Amino acid sequence: MGLFRTKGIVLRSIKLSETDKLVTFMTEHFGKVKCVARGARKIKSRYAGSLEPMSYVHLIYFGKENQQLYSLNNSDIIESFHLVRDNFQKLYTGIYLNELVDAMTAEVQEEKEIFQLLFDSLCALSNQCNLETLCRMFEIRILSLSGHKPELHHCTVCRNSAINGWIGFSYQKRGIVCNRCMKNTVAEIKFTTGTLNYLKKLLTLDINCSGRLKFPRGMDEEVEKVTHRLILAYVGRELKSYPFIKTMADVK
Ligand SMILES: [Zn+2]
């Protein structure tokens, strides 16, 4: 039996019984971990608000190594991300990021970079309102960290890197296709070098500066067609929170 201490972000918290909750954390050192929080649904629970989704906490849990379900011993809030929680659109964006991490990681497998990506993105979400760019940035980066980075530097058919004019994107090849190769290869979408440059920037720009990267009209949809559709192909289904953030963005 081991006792584990680490920092973590609450991904999901669900009712397990009248008094207990089942909480999924993305931890700094042990990857995704599920814990039973006994008594967490009682009014005077010692966990207070520390098990709400997106809470960044110090946690202590115990159980056998590599088991599926651990017992939560303690959870103390370091940062509640209240600025995200207080704004409906930010809240759903945060839930979407959490959902992506949950869907794209296996349990008890160290994912330090994905943990850091989630933490940095929640900080950025607190401080800025350009949520669309942040979502696209998160999508393309979590794909990259999961070994599914799209090829944006040379044609996936002829390997040519000097690409101009219209560029195709093939979901099957997970990358760009040059004008010449488009005659013989299925490229589901076509865009200009401008959109390609935005896609490249999403991979390199500091997440804290994502608020400054605004897509010109029309380009936002092209970028989304690449990053979000690659997510759908990887996860195999639409994420539950996604239609909510789309509807809210349309109303705005
Ligand atoms: Zn080519």
pLDDT digits (tens, 9 = 90+) for 90-135: 999 999 999 999 999 998 788 999 999 999 999 999 998 899 999 9
Q: Check which CATH number belongs to the domain holding 216 and give it.
A: 1.20.1440.120
Is 66 inside a domain boundary? no
Q: How many CB atoms lie within 10 A of CB 111?
A: 24
Q: What does the pLDDT look like over 128-154, one tens digit per residue?
A: 889 999 999 999 999 999 999 999 999
Q: What does the pLDDT look like over 230-250, one tens digit per residue?
A: 999 999 999 999 998 888 877
Q: What does the pLDDT look like over 15-65, one tens digit per residue?
A: 999 999 999 999 999 999 999 999 998 888 888 889 999 999 999 999 987
Which structural domain range is residue 193 located in? 129-252
Is 119 inside a domain boundary? no
Is 213 inside a domain boundary? yes
Per-residue confidence band for 162, with pLDDT thresholds at 50, 70 and 90: confident
Q: Measured in angstroms, how far is the CA atom of residue 140 from the centroid of ligand 1? A: 23
Domain count, the chain: 1
> CA–CA separation, 50 vs 35, rounded Å?
13
CA distances from 100 to 89, 143, 244 (A): 17, 10, 15
What is the pLDDT at residue 96? 97
> CA–CA separation, 51 vs 48, rounded Å?
8
> CA–CA separation, 44 vs 140, rounded Å?
41
Q: Measured in angstroms, how far is the CA atom of residue 167 from the centroid of ligand 1? A: 10
Mean pLDDT along residues 211-226: 89
Q: What percent of the chain has pLDDT over 70?
A: 99
> CA–CA separation, 55 vs 35, rounded Å?
15
Q: Measured in angstroms, how far is the CA atom of residue 164 from the centroid of ligand 1? A: 11
Per-residue confidence band for 75, with pLDDT thresholds at 50, 70 and 90: very high
Is 31 inside a domain boundary? no
Nearest partner of 107 among 75, 155, 67, judged by Cα: 67
Q: Measured in angstroms, how far is the CA atom of residue 155 from the centroid of ligand 1? A: 5
